[in-house]
Amino acid sequence: MTEVKKSRSEIKHEAIVEAAKSAFQEFGVQATSMDRLAEIAGVSKRTVYNHFATKAELVLYLLTDNWETSLLKSAVVYDPDKPLYEQFVNLVEEQVTSMSDEQHIELVRVAIGSFFYEQDTLRKGIDRLISLETAAHRFIKAAVKDNALIIKDVNFAVDQLNDLVKGRCFWPLVFKLQSQLTEDEKRFVIEQSVDIFLDHYSSSRKQAK
């Protein structure tokens, strides 16, 4: 199989993205200037701006990449032969780990702060993310098809699940209303959220009532 050779532009693009990941991790998003990114990536400042007109665009790109890696892809795929509760807990735990990651939280803070100044750029990016089908969507659709869950509106149900989890493991961190939860606290939130969700939508639990 012939390997496709990357163009100089693609190589520089990747260098800038990797520089941003390492710089944001080490110095923080706010403290990382475009000059510093150019230096770390080994490219000119003009090249950085050619690929990302603003730092907000770069932040949004990384958020999108993180979203696609953690929420769209998942090691948890619905299996009708395995207990639904355990599968669901593993799925939500995987997503909580990603959404509560310190670097991800900081990127979200910057995106929110930039929203007022670059509304079109960030709104378009956020609208695109919202429109994508996540691993939770696929899992729940498969469980509905298997009659393990009874749900009329999958999108609404996924939003409900997200609200349960993000209300404790994401938004309070974004707005610095609380510190990171311990692993035991995260586990408690995850299990309680899954219990509430399944109490309402699980076909077996509905039949048992």
% of the chain surpassing 70 pLDDT: 83
Give the pLDDT band (50/70/90) at residue 167. Answer: very high
Question: What average pLDDT does the segment 115-125 reach?
Answer: 64
C-beta separation of 79 from 138 below 8 A = no
The answer to whether residue 110 sits within a structural domain is: no
C-beta separation of 34 from 66 below 8 A = no
Question: What average pLDDT does the segment 164-178 reach?
Answer: 91
Question: What average pLDDT does the segment 122-136 reach?
Answer: 69
User: Alpha-carbon distance 176 to 206, whole Å?
Assistant: 38
Whether residue 165 is found in the same domain as residue 194: yes
The answer to whether residue 111 sits within a structural domain is: no
Provide the whole-model pTM. 0.75
C-beta separation of 34 from 48 below 8 A = yes
**Domain containing residue 72: CATH number:** 1.10.357.10
Whether residue 189 is found in the same domain as residue 159: yes
Whether residue 8 is found in the same domain as residue 90: no
Question: What average pLDDT does the segment 28-44 reach?
Answer: 90
The answer to whether residue 199 sits within a structural domain is: yes
Whether residue 48 is found in the same domain as residue 7: yes
Whether residue 10 is found in the same domain as residue 88: no
Domain span at residue 8 reads: 1-52
Give the pLDDT band (50/70/90) at residue 85. Answer: very high
The tally of domains found in the chain comes to 2
The answer to whether residue 57 sits within a structural domain is: no
Greatest Cα pair distance in the chain = 66
pLDDT of residue 1 exceeding 50, the answer is: no
The answer to whether residue 123 sits within a structural domain is: no
Whether residue 142 is found in the same domain as residue 81: yes
Amino acid 109: pLDDT = 80
The answer to whether residue 204 sits within a structural domain is: yes
Region of residue 147 (left: phi > 0; alpha: psi -120 to 50; beta: else): left
C-beta separation of 162 from 140 below 8 A = no
pLDDT of residue 128 exceeding 70, the answer is: no
Give the pLDDT band (50/70/90) at residue 72. Answer: low
Give the pLDDT band (50/70/90) at residue 114. Answer: low
**Domain containing residue 41: CATH number:** 1.10.10.60
